[in-house]
Amino acid sequence: GTAMGLVINTGDRTIIGRIASLASGVENEKTPIAIEIEHFVDIIAGLAIFFGATFFVVAMVIGYPFLRAMVFFMAIVVAYVPEGLLATVTVCLSLTAKRLARKNCVVKNLEAVETLGSTSVICSDKTGTLTQNRMTVAHLWFDNQIHTADTTEDQSGQSFDQSSETWTMLSRVVALCNRAQFKPGQDNVPVAKREVIGDASETALLKFAEVTVGPAAEARGRFPKVAELPFNSTNKFQLSVHEAGERQLLVLKGAPERVLERCNTVLLKGQELALDAQWREATPGGHGVRREVGMGAHQDHGGTLETRGDHEEPRVALRAPLRWPPCPLVPQVIMVTGDHPITAKAIAAAVGIISEGSETPEEVAARLRLPLERVDPRQARARVVTGAELAAMTPGALEGLLRAHPEMVFARTSPQQKLVIVESCQRLGAIVAVTGDGVNDSPALKKADIGVAMGIAGSDAAKNAADMILLDDNFASIVTGVEQGRLIFDNLKKSIAYTLTKNIPELTPYLIYITASVPLPLGCITILFIELCTDIVSGRTSRSPPRTRGVTTPDTWGPSTSPSTGRAIQSFAGFTAYFVAMAQEGWWPLLCLGLRPRWEDTHEQELQDSYGQQWTFEQRRYQQYTCYTVFFISIEMCQIADVLIRKTRRLSLFQQGLFR
C-alpha cells in the first residue's frame, strides 16, 4: 500500500530513541563466575602473603641472609597462588564457546557460557522467540469438515477431495487474495525453502497454494487484479477484485468474524445455503495458539458488483510452529511479551510454561463459582499479569507475586516493565537469562545476567545488547547452552580442587624444614616448575568430556568433595620418597631431625651419616638435589592420578577413555 508519513520527533525523542537510551543507561554487572573467581583469588592471595611473610620472619630470626629469606617468601607465595587457574578457565570457556558455535550458538562474552549454566530463571519474549513468526497452514474447514493440511510437495498426505467445487473456490481465493510473492530465480528451490516477499500469514498461504494447486503466478495471470482494498488493523480484512473473462470476481480474506459479517450464504458441496444463525454458530473455532483466517468470494453475472452477498468460504487455520519445549534444566521460565493476555496464555500453555492442570486465579474462581476477589491467589499455580496491572504494583508486590506463582506470564508489557521484571527476579537471588529479538527487548537483554538474541529474526539492537546469539533462531539451542554451562561449572570445580590439592604438599616441606630442622626436601625452582609448567598442562586435561553423565543434574552443583584427602596423600608420598632417598644413602630419618644447621654449613666437609660415611658439602648438595627430584616426581605422580580421578564422575577410564 501507500501512505504519507508525518515526522513528529527525531533521535532520542522517538520511541526507539527512548528505548536505546534506556538500554544505554543499564550498567554491565559482573558475571557470577567473575565474582566467584575474584573471591577465591582474594582468599588464596591473603593466605599466600600471610604464610610467606611468616616464613620470611622465621628465616630472618634463625639467621638466614635477607636474600635467602626473600627467596623463601617468594617460593611460598608462588606455591599458594594458582597461576594456572586463569589459563585453565580461559581454555575451558574457549573450548565450550567453540563447541556452542558448532551448534549455532555464538557467544560474545566467554564468561556468559558459565552464566547460562547457572541460570535459574529464563524471561522469554514470545514473538520470534518461543514462536518463530514462521507460519504454515495446519487445518482447513470446508464442506462442513475439518481437514489436516499437507504442505509437502508430493501431497501424499492430503485427506480431502481436490475436485470439490468448494475446494476450487477456496484455492482460488488463497492464490488471488494474497500480496505475497516469491523472490525471482528460485524455480529449482523447494517451495518450503523459497524466500518470499510478504508477511508470515500470506507467505504460508502462498506456499500452500503453490504445492496444492500449482504456481500462484499462473492463477494471478488468468485473473488480473482490477482493484484492491489492503488489509488494515481497523477493518481486519483484505479485499480484491479480479477479471474473470466477462465477469468480475471478488475475493475476501481476514478475521473470521469480519468475513462472516459480510457473507449471507455458505458454499457446501457445490450448493449455496443460507448463512443463518445455526451455520454461524457451527463454524469451528478456539484453535488456541493458531491464527484463523476466513475466506469469502463473490462472482458477478455481468451486472454491478456488490460487496455483500459473498459466499462464506472455508476457514483456514494457521499455526506458528512452536519448536521449543521448556528447558527441564532451568527451574522457572517466565513469558514476558507485548501480546494480548489471551494469546500469551495460550502460547504459554502450548509450550509448557503453564503446565497441564495448572490454574490461574480466574480459573480457580470459575471452578469454585466464587467472585475473583474472594479467591486466595496462592491457590493458583499460574498467573497472567497485564502491563496495566504491573504498572500499579510496588516492587515488593511484584516480588511477592513471583514467589507465590512459579508459572508466570506477563502480557502487554512495555520495555521499561520488562526491565523491572528482570530486576525483581535478580533481587530475589535468581540468575536471569532474557531472550528476545526486538528493539524493545534490548534494555532487558542488557540488564540480565545473560541476554540471548535471535540471529535471523533479531534486530541489530537486540544482538548488540545480548551476550549470546542463536544463529538458527531455535530456542532449543538454549538447552545445549545450559548443558555446556553446567559442564563448565563442573570443570572449574575440578580445576580449583586440583589447584588446591598440591598447595599443601608444596608448603609442608618448608614447614618441616623450619620446625624439624631437616634438610630442605623441595627447592624453590622445583616449585616454580610445578606451578608454571606441569600444572597448566595437567589442569587442561582435567576438564570433563562433553557428555559426562550427571553433570547437568541439579544435585551435582554443590561444592565438590574437600581435597584434604588428596593433600594428605601427596604430602605423605613426597615425604616417604624423600626419607627413602635419604636412608638409601645412609641418612636415617632420626638422624635427619635437627640436621639442617650442619647440613647447610659450607665449612663442614666431614659430616658423618648413619653408616659412618663422611660427606663433603658438595656431596650433600648433590644428595639434596636428588631429594628435590624424588619429592617432585612423587607430587607429579599423585597429580596425574588426581587428574584421572577427577576426569570422570561415575564411569571408569576403560568406559570413558583416557583422552576423551
How far, in Å, CA of 218 to CA of 24, rounded?
51
In degrees and rounded to multiples of 5, residue 194 shows phi and psi of -70, 145
| Structural domain that includes position 339 | 114-131+328-473
Domain count, the chain: 3
pLDDT for position 555 = 41
- Quick count: other Cβ atoms within 10 Å of Cβ 287? 16
pLDDT computed for residue 284 by the predictor:
55
Q: Say if residue 224's pLDDT is above 80.
A: yes
**Residue 125 a catalytic site member:** yes
Q: Which of 395, 388, 443, 452 is nearest to 419 (CA)?
A: 443
Residues 283, 259 contacting (CB under 8 angstroms): no
pLDDT class for 398, splitting at 50, 70, 90?
Answer: very high
d(CA 168, CA 636): 81
CA dihedral 310, 314, 315, 321 (to 10 degrees): -140
Q: CATH code at 344?
A: 3.40.50.1000
Alpha-carbon gap, residue 131 to 267, rounded angstroms: 34
Backbone angles phi, psi at 335, to 5 degrees: -90, 130
3-state SS assignment for residue 72 = helix
419 inside domain: yes
| pLDDT tens digits for range 612-625 | 889 998 998 899 89
Mean pLDDT score of the chain? 78
Per-residue model confidence (pLDDT) at position 290: 63
How many residues are there in the chain?
660
Task: Decide if 60 is inside a domain.
Answer: no
Q: Is residue 32 part of a domain?
A: no
Q: Which residue has the higher pLDDT, 327 or 586?
A: 586
User: What is the dihedral sign for C-alpha 551, 554, 556, 558?
Assistant: positive
Grid cell digits, residue 499: 589447584
Average pLDDT over residues 467-483: 77
Whether the predicted pLDDT of 282 surpasses 60:
yes
Structure confidence at residue 307 (pLDDT): 33
Give the pLDDT score at 187: 84
The count of C-alpha atoms lying within 13 angstroms of the C-alpha of 357, restricted to the half-sphere facing its C-beta, is 0
171-175, 176-180, 493-497, 613-617, range with the lowest pLDDT: 493-497
As a whole number, mean pLDDT of residues 573-580 equals 87
One domain for residues 281 and 174: yes
Which of 125, 310, 339, 642 is catalytic? The answer is: 125
pLDDT the model gives residue 422: 92
- Candidate from 26-40, 141-155, 588-602 with smallest mean pLDDT: 26-40
Assess if residue 41 is contained within a domain: no
Between 343 and 190, the more confident residue is 190
Residue 322 has a pLDDT of 36
- Please check whether residue 3 lies inside any domain of the structure: no
pLDDT for 132 beyond 90: no
Poorest-pLDDT segment among 54-68, 188-202, 258-272, 645-659: 645-659
Residue 510 lies in a domain: yes
The answer to whether residue 599 sits within a structural domain is: yes
**All 3 cell numbers of residue 424?**
525483581
pLDDT greater than 70 at residue 154: yes
Residue 38 has pLDDT above 90, yes or no: no
Together in a domain, 372 and 348:
yes
End-of-domain residue from the set 429, 445, 473: 473
pLDDT at res. 176: 92
Q: Which of 411, 442, 473 is the last residue of a domain?
A: 473
Q: Among the residues of 66-110, which ranges form H helices?
A: 66-80, 83-101
CA-CA-CA-CA torsion for 435, 437, 440, 446, nearest 10 degrees? 50
Domain boundary among 473, 501, 519: 473
Side chain identity, residue 217: A
Against a cut of 0.75, is the pTM above it?
A: no
Q: Find where cell 484492491 sits.
A: 228
Residue 87 has pLDDT above 80, yes or no: no
Tens of pLDDT, residue by residue over 330-370, are 678 898 887 778 778 888 887 778 888 888 888 888 888 88
- Name the DSSP letter for residue 561: P
408 and 286 both lie in a single domain: no
Q: Give yes or no for residue 611 having a pLDDT over 80.
A: yes
Do residues 443 and 560 both lie within one domain?
Answer: no
Convert the pLDDT of each residue in 435-454 to its tens digit. Answer: 888 777 888 888 888 888 88
Per-residue confidence (pLDDT) for residue 303, from 0 to 100? 36
Rg, C-alpha atoms of the chain: 37
Same domain, 565 and 448: no
* Alpha carbon distance 104, 106 (integer Å): 6
| CATH code where residue 266 lies | 3.40.1110.10
Report, as an integer, the average pLDDT of 604-609: 87
Residues 405, 546: one domain?
Answer: no
Both 303 and 358 in one domain: the answer is no
The winner for highest mean pLDDT among 347-356, 399-408, 469-478 is 399-408
How confident is residue 312, by pLDDT bands cut at 50, 70 and 90? very low
pLDDT of residue 377: 79
Least confident of 44-53, 145-154, 162-171: 145-154
> Which set of grid coordinates corresponds to residue 186?
528460485
Record the cell numbers describing residue 289, joined without a space.
495458539
Greater confidence, 380 or 90? 380
Whether the per-residue pLDDT at 554 is higher than 60: the answer is no
Tell me, what's the pLDDT at 412?
Answer: 84
pLDDT tens readout for residues 626-657:
998 998 888 888 877 877 777 666 666 676 66
Residue 337 domain flag: yes
Q: Do 553 and 635 fall within a single domain?
A: yes
Summarised one tens digit per residue, pLDDT across range 503-548 is 778 778 877 887 788 888 888 778 777 766 666 555 555 554 444 4
Whether 550 has a pLDDT exceeding 70, the answer reads: no
pLDDT tens readout for residues 92-108: 788 888 888 888 888 88
Residues 170 and 285 in one domain: yes
Q: Quick one: average pLDDT of 478-497?
A: 73
Q: For residue 562, is pLDDT > 50?
A: no
Determine the pLDDT at residue 478: 76
Pair 165, 305 in one domain: yes
Tell me the H-state helices in 118-270: 165-176, 200-213, 216-222, 256-261
**CB contact burial 198-228 (16+ within 10 A = b; e otherwise):** eebbbbbbbbbbbbbbeebeebeeebeeeee
Statement to judge: residues 120 and 141 lie in one domain: no
Whether 163 and 301 map to the same domain: the answer is yes
Residue of 492, 485, 483 whose CA lies nearest to 88: 492
Does residue 128 carry a pLDDT above 50? Answer: no
The CATH number linked to 518 is 1.20.1110.10
pLDDT of 266 over the 50 cut: yes
What pLDDT is stored for residue 313 in this prediction? Answer: 40
Please give the pLDDT value at position 317. 37
424 pLDDT higher than 90: yes
Question: Does the CA dihedral 327-151-161-170 come out positive or negative?
Answer: positive
